[in-house]
Amino acid sequence: MSLSKEAVDEFKGIYKDKYKKELNDAEASEAANNLVGFFKVLYDCAVKEAEKKRRLKKEPEGFHITDGEYNCLICHRQVTGEESWYDKWGCKCLLCQKAVKEGLVPGFVCRDSDSWYTMWQLKDKFGLAHQTAKKLVREGKLKARIVPYADGKPYEYVFLKRGFGNKKRNQGKRRSLKPADKSRF
Ligand SMILES: [Zn+2]
């Protein structure tokens, strides 16, 4: 799909007004087509998301994804079809889905990636090597929510920022949760 000359000229005018720079025809055509392409991707995503939300009303427990490949919101593995699950928290692989359903990992981590650290972030931000972090978790010195494999071995670690690095404070906080807060889990 290519934009009409009229649309490209209009883009040229807007660009000149905003950035005080005149684009030649080729530059304007490329930039305008890129912009439209970008919004088409966003629009298509929004349409797919709206469709899934509609379907969720009929199937509140969720369903396998059939409209493309998506990254699991917890482990970030790319999944589709029977290895995927979509529910009110969004797209997950089946292992992460099961962990959320069983309450091992709170669902809000799917929507709020700022509420937790991944294993990689522990290394990036705190210089904590994976093996060290796993050892601290085993020893109970570092608190992690764990997505297990079917055999129970750890698949993915979720380190909630709330109370991070202070187990006692975290436990105190949990005791003082109000009933309304519990619905988040
Ligand atoms: Zn996953």
Domain end point (choices 12, 35, 57): 57
Between the CA of 89 and the centroid of ligand 1 the distance, in Å, is 12
Between the CA of 77 and the centroid of ligand 1 the distance, in Å, is 6
Between the CA of 84 and the centroid of ligand 1 the distance, in Å, is 9
- The reply to whether 147 falls in a domain is yes
- The reply to whether 79 falls in a domain is no
User: Which domain does 119 fall in, by range?
Assistant: 93-185
- The reply to whether 62 falls in a domain is no
My answer on whether 110 and 162 are in the same domain is: yes
* pLDDT beyond 60 at 168: no
Total domains in the fold of the chain: 2
CA distance 108 to 93: 16
Nearest CA-CA partner of 33 in 70, 3, 65: 3
Between the CA of 111 and the centroid of ligand 1 the distance, in Å, is 13
* pLDDT beyond 80 at 174: no
Between the CA of 128 and the centroid of ligand 1 the distance, in Å, is 22
My answer on whether 99 and 174 are in the same domain is: yes
- The reply to whether 83 falls in a domain is no
Residue 70 contacts residue 148 (beta carbons within 8 Å): no
- The reply to whether 20 falls in a domain is yes
Between the CA of 9 and the centroid of ligand 1 the distance, in Å, is 46
- The reply to whether 111 falls in a domain is yes
Beta sheet of 90-93, edge-to-edge order:
63-71, 78-87, 90-93
pLDDT of amino acid 165: 60
My answer on whether 101 and 155 are in the same domain is: yes
CA distance 161 to 153: 23
- Structure tokens that stand for 59 in this block: 């199937």
Between the CA of 69 and the centroid of ligand 1 the distance, in Å, is 13
Domain end point (choices 57, 84, 103): 57
My answer on whether 122 and 170 are in the same domain is: yes
* pLDDT beyond 80 at 45: yes
My answer on whether 98 and 185 are in the same domain is: yes
- The reply to whether 23 falls in a domain is yes
Between the CA of 20 and the centroid of ligand 1 the distance, in Å, is 47
pLDDT of amino acid 51: 95
- In this prediction the pTM is 0.74
My answer on whether 35 and 109 are in the same domain is: no
My answer on whether 50 and 124 are in the same domain is: no
Mean pLDDT of all residues in the chain?
Answer: 89
- The reply to whether 80 falls in a domain is no
Q: What is the mean pLDDT of residues 56-77?
A: 96
